[in-house]
Structure 1
Amino acid sequence: MIKISYPSYSFKIETREGKEYIFDPLRKKWIRLTPEEWVRQNFLQYLLQVMNYPASLIAIEKEIQMGELKKRFDILVYKNDHPWLLIECKEMNTPIDEVVMQQLLRYQTVVQASYLIVTNGNDTRGIGRENDQLITLNTIPVYQ
């Protein structure tokens, strides 16, 4: 498991017609605040503030084609014009189990990132490829 210490951040949250919305500074728009979106926004701030990932190389909720199906990944970080780190976010009460890992691996068949992370905000796990072998990550990869 990867230990994450989330930074403090002044999220912009507002209520419209009884529903909460959060402003996503990367997408520059208001997004419906769901439990999964809360995890995604906190993880993004961790990548930006703590890990110093370049905001311009982070894609959020982009569509991918998986055979006949269209799916959306949560976060993808690019490096040298290639997918580098694929992140799947789940709401806090969703356990990181085999079903969640299989979803991430299905996305990976299309994306082909070097590293994969899955998080529910409390439990964060990752795997990477080194010398054509999968390895378990103990930390979030450093972007250099």
Structure 2
Amino acid sequence: MIAIQFPPPDFKIVTEGGNQLIFDAYRKRYVVLTPEEWVRQNFLNFLSKIKSYPPSLMGVEKEIFLGEMKKRCDIIVYNRNSKPWMIVECKEMDVPLNLAVLEQIVRYNMALPVSYLVITNGTNTFCCKLKGAHDVPEFVADLPVFE
């Protein structure tokens, strides 16, 4: 498990129609502040402010296709050549990170092969390094330095 120290939140949050909305700087719009969105926004903040991943190379809620099924990756980090490098799957804090969550992100990797898979619920975070398309994921002790 990777220890994550989130930076202090500096989010723009408004209330509209009884819903709290948070400004997503990556999608350039306000979105409903769900428990999962809170984890996603904090993790994006962590990647950019603590790990120095370039915000311009991070995509949020990007569509992929698994056969005929349309799915969305919570966060995709691209390398400097604009190739997908990491997929992050965010769950709300009370959702355990179990085999089903790991299998979900491994399926995403079939459609969008990357070097790293990350699952987080804001409290617990795990990262796997993938060496090749058919290799078994190897858990690593920390998130990689951005290439």
- TM value normalised by structure 1: 0.96
Give, in angstroms, the shift of residue 78 of structure 1: 0.5
In structure 2, what is the Cα distance between the partners aligned to 1:95 and 1:129?
A: 23
Match of 2:127 in 1: 126
C-alpha root-mean-square deviation of aligned residues, in Å? 1.1
Match of 1:106 in 2: 107
Selected match of 1:139 from 123, 127, 142: 142
Match of 1:115 in 2: 116
Of residues 98-107 and 130-139 in structure 1, the stretch that sits farther from structure 2 once superposed is 130-139
In structure 1, what is the Cα distance between the partners aligned to 2:62 and 2:110?
A: 15
Aligned length: 144
3-state SS, counterpart of residue 130 of structure 2? strand
Measured against aligned partners, the alpha-carbon deviations of 1:1-34 in whole angstroms (never above 9, x if no partner) come to 0110000121111111111100011221101100
Measured against aligned partners, the alpha-carbon deviations of 1:18-64 in whole angstroms (never above 9, x if no partner) come to 11100011221101100000000000000010011111111110111
Asked if 1:76 corresponds to 2:76, the answer is yes
Q: Structure 2: which amino acid aligns with 1:143?
A: F
Asked if 1:41 corresponds to 2:41, the answer is yes
Q: Where do 4+ consecutive residues of structure 1 move more than 4 Å?
A: none
In structure 2, what is the Cα distance between the partners aligned to 1:130 and 1:138?
A: 16
In structure 2, what is the Cα distance between the partners aligned to 1:133 and 1:105?
A: 10
Q: Structure 2: which amino acid aligns with 1:141?
A: P
In structure 2, what is the Cα distance between the partners aligned to 1:67 and 1:4?
A: 34
Identity, % of aligned positions: 47
Q: Structure 1: which amino acid aligns with 2:74?
A: D
Measured against aligned partners, the alpha-carbon deviations of 1:75-98 in whole angstroms (never above 9, x if no partner) come to 000112211110000000000001
Unaligned residue ranges in structure 1 (runs of 5+):
none
Give, in angstroms, the shift of residue 133 of structure 1: 5.1
Of residues 38-47 and 130-139 in structure 1, the stretch that sits farther from structure 2 once superposed is 130-139
